Amino acid sequence: MNQRPEPPREAPRGRDPQRSRSGSIATNDPSAHLNVHVLNPSPRAVDRRSALRAGAGAAIVGAFTAGCSDDRAGRQPTGSPTAPPSASAAAASPARPQTPRPAPAPRSFPGQPVQISSGPRARPQVALTFHGQGDPKIATTLLSEAEKAGARVTVLAVGSWLDEHPEMARRILDGGHELGNHTQHHIDISTLDESGAYAEITGCAARLRRLTGSIGTWFRPSRAQYATELVQTLARRAGYPHVLSYDVDSLDFTSPGASAVTHNVTGQIRNGSVVSLHFGYADTVAALPALLAELERRRLRAVTTTELLT
């Protein structure tokens, strides 16, 4: 295990010292390797193996950039060539912080009841709220469809779902949406005693705080449109000034078909409505484009619940 590796037999004399001085193999950072071989090429001729390594580094950087692009980058105009950054620009640009800014915290809305089911009726705005659970691919598709239409939604996530798919917390927030608490295990919170119900609320709050730096902007009770007096009290104790209900139920969780989901919403929605929808159902995915198109036709803007009430 401690034997020194045998040096390459065919290596040209003097090559390794040259490579060490140039720094081309002194780092494992693909972007640093790219800067050496592409942005600041040596005036000396590059041998075949060095060229291959430079090409591999460029491929890694390209793959990394594509894989880490968020939606904000995706909204840039397509077809416009982008010049590679110069060495001075790369040095002047600060590194992107690894720890995202904490998500917004709950806030109180004076004049609103503890349990909120709708917003002001005078403004042409509505809130589409999603129960966050189910296949993350379906959730991502729904978020992307909303973003294409310029809509922003509120997601009330189940804590156990975030345990299984922690990346979804940042996906929701990075898309400009709002994230809240829908209990830890999505059991009927109305049937639990005080300690059990409080544990369901604080359990999900702890997951949200760990993933985003905040307990989330809203709390919605599980398996109930309205919270009991006890649950409202426990939610306030946990840090949520309000409990979020809704006045329009899509009934998408019954899998009635896409047209029925659209009809259930468009038949009831009006200024200030808060709509209940769910991740994890194919009917919801199929219905959302038509639903968003109808909102646009009626000049109703889909905004986060916080914006609806502000």
Write the pLDDT tens digit of every residue in 161-171: 999 999 999 99
pLDDT given for residue 237 in this prediction:
99
Q: pLDDT tens across 83-127, in order?
A: 444 444 444 444 554 566 778 999 999 999 999 999 999 999 999
pLDDT given for residue 99 in this prediction:
61
- Rounded to an integer, the average pLDDT of 248-256 is 98
Is the model's pLDDT at 38 over the cut of 90?
A: no
Q: pLDDT tens across 258-289, in order?
A: 999 999 999 999 999 999 999 999 999 999 99
Is the model's pLDDT at 63 over the cut of 80?
A: no
Q: pLDDT tens across 176-193, in order?
A: 999 999 999 999 999 999
pLDDT given for residue 102 in this prediction:
77
CATH T-level topology, domain 115-309: TIM Barrel (3.20.20)
Predicted TM-score (pTM) of this structure: 0.69
Is the model's pLDDT at 299 over the cut of 60?
A: yes
| Strand residue runs (E) in the chain | 115-116, 125-132, 154-157, 178-181, 243-244, 248-249, 274-278, 301-302
Q: pLDDT tens across 219-246, in order?
A: 999 999 999 999 999 999 999 999 999 9
Per-chain mean pLDDT for the chain: 80
Domain boundaries, the chain: 16-66, 115-309
What percent of the chain shows pLDDT beyond 90?
Answer: 67
| pLDDT bracket for residue 15 (50, 70, 90) | very low
- Torsion, CA 298, CA 302, CA 306, CA 307, rounded to 10: -60
pLDDT given for residue 143 in this prediction:
99
Q: Counting Cβ atoms within 10 Å, is residue 101 exposed (0-12), middle (13-18) or buried (19+)?
A: exposed
- Give the pair of three-digit tokens for residue 15: 């090559």
Q: Tell me which residue of 65, 64, 33, 66 sits closest to 51, measured CA to CA.
A: 33
CB within 8 Å of 225: residues ≥ 6 apart:
245, 246, 249, 276
Q: How far apart are CA 288 and CA 294, in angstroms?
A: 10
Is the model's pLDDT at 18 over the cut of 90?
A: no
Q: How far apart are CA 16 and CA 101, in angstroms?
A: 44
Tell me which of 74 and 131 has the higher pLDDT: 131
- Rounded to an integer, the average pLDDT of 202-208 is 99
pLDDT given for residue 100 in this prediction:
66
Q: Tell me which residue of 65, 99, 70, 71 sits closest to 212, measured CA to CA.
A: 99
Q: How far apart are CA 25 and CA 176, in angstroms?
A: 41
Q: pLDDT tens across 130-144, in order?
A: 999 999 999 999 999
**β-strand partners of 125:** 301
| pLDDT bracket for residue 33 (50, 70, 90) | very low
